[in-house]
Amino acid sequence: EESLQMWDLNKRLEAYLARVKFLEEENEVLRAEIQSTKSSPAGDSWRMKYEEELRALRDALDHAFREKCMAELARDNLYEEVQQVKSRCQKEQAAREEAKKQLSLSRKELEEERRAQIWLKERAVQLEKEVEALLEVHEEEKAGLDQEIASFSHSLESFRCAPVAFQPVEVEDYSKRLSEIWKGAVETYKTEVSQLEGSLCQAKENLWKAVEDNQQSQLQLQHLEKDLAGLKARKEMLEESLAQQWQEQRGEAEKFQLAMEALEQEQQSLRVQIARVLEDRQQLMHLKMSLSLEVATYRTLLEAESTRLQMPAG
């Protein structure tokens, strides 16, 4: 029975020793592989390649950040330029409104000048009619005076007496007075006509000035409209370029973000693999320790059994 137990223990010990030997060989192989991977240039090249890729990605990220800063500066500059264009458009709009106001005022002045011209023409026609009426009255009065003078002359020829000699003098005085009145009326008419002609000339000059101001304001308005259209087109082009740059920058940022996420995932997977390798190695170490303990216990048992068998019977 003891020999059977010993045989069983020997078999188990052989199995454990074979397993320990196999695990030690496997451990040595793994250790050699780890040392080879640590000392081999392939591992260094892989690590260097990984570090180079990481460095390149960091440089690309820095470059993208710089491009982002430059794009933000360009966006700010474009925004300032757009604000300047808007302020210029507002100024031109105000100038356009002012030109429209001046144009409306010049049109009102033109209408007033036209009305004044029409009133002056009507007044001139009215004065001409009054002058014609005064001429007719003067002619009638002159004819009446001629008739009276003729009757007085006939009466003087029929009555040749001295007391009536003062009457032709009165008639001459009356005719002189009438001629003076006529001359005064003609002079006043001439002065009024000259004043009307002067006012008419002034009205014509004001009319021409208003027409010229109207033409200049229209030309200025056309120039302002052309400048406004050009500024609007430039504003639209700047807004389109700004939107395009913003979209490009956003796409590049998304690409770099995806690349960083992929690198982080790869780094996480490498960490997981390293943790697994370390855990496997730790498990192997624990297994080796347990096997070494079992081997030590079996050795002690064998030594005790051999000493017991070698003791003398007494």
pLDDT tens digits, 1-10? 778 888 888 8
pTM above 0.75, yes or no: no
What is the spatial distance between Cα 42 and Cα 278, in angstroms, rounded to a whole number? Answer: 21
Span 267-308, pLDDT tens digits: 888 888 888 888 888 888 888 888 888 888 888 888 887 787
Please list, in sequence order, all residues whose beta carbon lies within 8 angstroms of the beta carbon of residue 262, skipping any fewer than 6 positions away.
Answer: none
Q: Which residue, 228, 260, 206, 238, is CA-closest to 58?
A: 260
Q: Could you give the C-alpha distances from 293 to 23, 297, 304, in angstroms and in order?
A: 14, 6, 16
The predicted structure's pLDDT at residue 162: 43
Span 123-148, pLDDT tens digits: 778 877 887 887 787 778 777 777 77
Helix axes 167-310, 41-158, angle to 10 degrees: 170
What is the spatial distance between Cα 140 and Cα 259, in angstroms, rounded to a whole number? Answer: 119
pLDDT at position 27 over 80: yes
Span 160-188, pLDDT tens digits: 444 444 444 455 676 677 777 777 777 77
Confidence band (pLDDT; 50, 70, 90) for 154?
low
pLDDT at position 65 over 50: yes
The predicted structure's pLDDT at residue 304: 81
pLDDT at position 54 over 50: yes
- Pairwise pLDDT comparison (106 vs 45), residue with the higher score: 106
Percent of residues, the chain, with pLDDT higher than 70: 88
pLDDT at position 98 over 60: yes
Confidence band (pLDDT; 50, 70, 90) for 44?
low
The predicted structure's pLDDT at residue 169: 46
Read off the DSSP letter of residue 164.
G
Give the distance, in angstroms, between the CA of residue 28 and the centroid of all CA atoms in the same chain.
72
Rg of the chain over all Cα atoms, to the nearest angstrom = 65
pLDDT at position 63 over 60: yes
Q: Which residue blocks in the chain are alpha helix, DSSP H?
A: 2-39, 41-158, 167-310
The predicted structure's pLDDT at residue 58: 83
The predicted structure's pLDDT at residue 164: 44
Span 191-209, pLDDT tens digits: 877 777 777 788 778 778 8
Q: Are 75 and 249 in contact (CB under 8 A)?
A: no
The predicted structure's pLDDT at residue 159: 45
| CB-based burial label for 161 (10 Å; 0-12, 13-18, 19+) | exposed
Mean pLDDT of the chain: 78
